[in-house]
Amino acid sequence: MTAINSRLITLDPVSYPGKDIIVDVLRLDKIHPVISGNKWYKLRFYLKQAIEQHKKTICTFGGAWSNHIVATAAACAENGLQSIGIIRGEKPAVLSNTLQEAIGYGMQLYFTSREDFRNKKIPFDNSHESILTVLEGGFGIPGAEGASTILELVQPGNYTDIFCACGTGTMLAGLAMAAAPQTRVTGISVLKNHTGLEKDTRSLMGTSKKDFTVMHDFHQGGYAKKTEALIDFMNRFYSQTGIPSDFVYTGKLFYALDQLLAEGYFAPHSRILAIHSGGLQGNSSLENGTLIF
Ligand SMILES: *Cc1c(COP(=O)(O)O)cnc(C)c1O
């Protein structure tokens, strides 16, 4: 079992010829081959809470390819906790790589109908006080507070902009709370028509009045959907920078940045921090040969 190692994180500058703009990519993907970087940060205070409250088990929710499910399984295993994953949909004949990996970390899986999943129904007696239940994606105030600590890895005041990919908005909320007053914070939503995202994000920010922006036009068809242009871009970005991305989150983030740069969205001398939030394990759902990395 590989341990989580935040010392492996690097800040990789990407320059855009003729633009005098630098994008620093914070490589949270490097902390672990499976545990997606931002998921570990979102989980850290839930883990702390579980340990302090003498819980034995963390129970959480996700889909068959969920980065959060496998990250929870691995993080619990590392911390001597048990884990339970409640998975959306009927049990398939062949489990996804993600779920096999989660089982490898000792996670116990329950499959529930889409309707029960939507209603966050727990298919066993969870009245037991030894279980801590965490929402899908780690959504919640402890998740956002954990995500705030991502900015301890950099000098946040150096940046004109911080960009990240958004699912639930938990990471965006954390980044916005920890960003310097002069820094613009922007999330690229990977879902189509996720109209509640700004409100959800704000709900995790406590008394912080910090502004943030969500861009809703870079989802490439919707959650876990992809276009040929996105895949081509991810391969090109990898050959130019050596940085791998995933097609659900970070590929859409870097593609959005590329398009915004090309449109002249950023002023000269902008210095942009882009959070590489991990998620590379999700690429294993793609057909072999789709990506060059
Ligand atoms: C879950 C995830 C996100 C989205 O994080 P939220 O806090 O849910 O917005 C972004 N990138 C990757 C790689 C993820 O796995």
d(CA 234, CA 236): 5
49: pLDDT strictly greater than 60: yes
For the stretch 77-115, pLDDT in tens is: 999 999 999 999 999 999 999 999 999 999 999 999 999
Per-residue confidence (pLDDT) for residue 1, from 0 to 100: 56
- Please report which confidence band the pLDDT of residue 129 belongs to, taking 50, 70 and 90 as the band edges: confident
For the stretch 214-241, pLDDT in tens is: 999 999 999 999 999 999 999 999 999 9
249 CA: nearest ligand 1 atom? 11
For the stretch 54-77, pLDDT in tens is: 999 999 999 999 999 999 999 999
- Domains contained in the chain, CATH given: 6-33+140-285 (3.40.50.1100), 39-138 (3.40.50.1100)
Q: Measuring from atom 13 of ligand 1, which residue has the nearest CA?
A: 279
How much of the chain, in percent, has pLDDT values that exceed 90? 91
- Please report which confidence band the pLDDT of residue 26 belongs to, taking 50, 70 and 90 as the band edges: very high
Ligand 1 centroid distance, CA of 186 (Å): 14
Q: Per DSSP, which regions of the chain are E strands?
A: 11-15, 22-27, 57-62, 82-88, 108-112, 131-134, 161-166, 184-189, 213-215, 271-276
For a mutational test of ligand 1's pocket, the pick from 25, 29, 38, 255, i.e. the residue with the most ligand atoms closer than 8 A to its C-beta, is: 38
Ligand 1 centroid distance, CA of 40 (Å): 11
203: pLDDT strictly greater than 80: yes
Per-residue confidence (pLDDT) for residue 182, from 0 to 100: 97
For a mutational test of ligand 1's pocket, the pick from 36, 149, 247, 283, i.e. the residue with the most ligand atoms closer than 8 A to its C-beta, is: 36
